[in-house]
Amino acid sequence: MGRPDPGTPPALAGARARVARLLLTDGPATASSLARRLGLTSAAIRRTLDELTADGLVSGDERPPFGPSRPRQRGRPARVFFLTAAGHDAFDATYDDLASQLLAFIDESMGPGAVAEFARRRAHGLEDTYRTQVAEGRDVVDRANTLAELLTSDGFAASVEHSAGDSLQICQRHCPIARIAEEFPVLCEAEAAAFARMLDVHVVRLATLARGDGVCTVSVPLSRGPGSGGDRVVDKRAAMCAEVG
CA 65 – CA 13 distance, rounded (Å):
25
Which pLDDT does position 224 carry in this prediction? Answer: 65
Angle at 242 between CA 180 and CA 203, to 5 degrees: 60
Q: Could you tell me the pTM of the whole model?
A: 0.63
Which pLDDT does position 138 carry in this prediction? Answer: 92
Give the domain 96-238 fold. H-NOX domain (3.90.1520)
User: Which phi and psi angles does 220 have, rounded to 5°?
Assistant: -120, 115
Which pLDDT does position 165 carry in this prediction? Answer: 72
Question: Who contacts 64 (Cβ-Cβ below 8 Å, separation ≥6)?
Answer: 27, 28, 80, 82, 214, 242, 244
pLDDT tens digits for 186-242? 999 999 999 999 999 999 999 888 887 878 999 999 876 544 443 343 444 445 665
Is the pLDDT at 110 greater than 80? The verdict is yes
> Which among 222, 208, 217 is positioned nearest to 239, based on CA atoms?
217
> Greatest CA span in the chain, whole angstroms?
60
Mean pLDDT of 65-84: 66
At residue 90, what is the residue type? A
What confidence tier does 1 reach under pLDDT thresholds 50, 70, 90? very low
Burial class, 133, CB count within 10 angstroms (exposed 0-12 / middle 13-18 / buried 19+): middle
Give CA separation, 91 vs 51, 60, 95, in Å: 17, 19, 12
CATH 3.90.1520 occupies which residues in the chain?
Answer: 96-238
For residue 78, the 8-state DSSP code is P
Give CA separation, 205 vs 35, 208, 213, 219, in Å: 33, 8, 12, 6
Question: What CATH class has 14-89?
Answer: mainly alpha
Beta-bridge partner residues of 161: 169
CATH 1.10.10.10 occupies which residues in the chain?
Answer: 14-89
Pairing of strands 58-61, 29-30: unpaired
How confident is the prediction for the chain on average, in pLDDT?
A: 80
pLDDT tens digits for 144-175? 999 999 998 887 889 998 866 788 999 998 88
| Segment (H or E) for 30 | strand 29-30
| Segment (H or E) for 190 | helix 186-199
Higher pLDDT, 5 or 181: 181
CA 156 – CA 173 distance, rounded (Å):
7
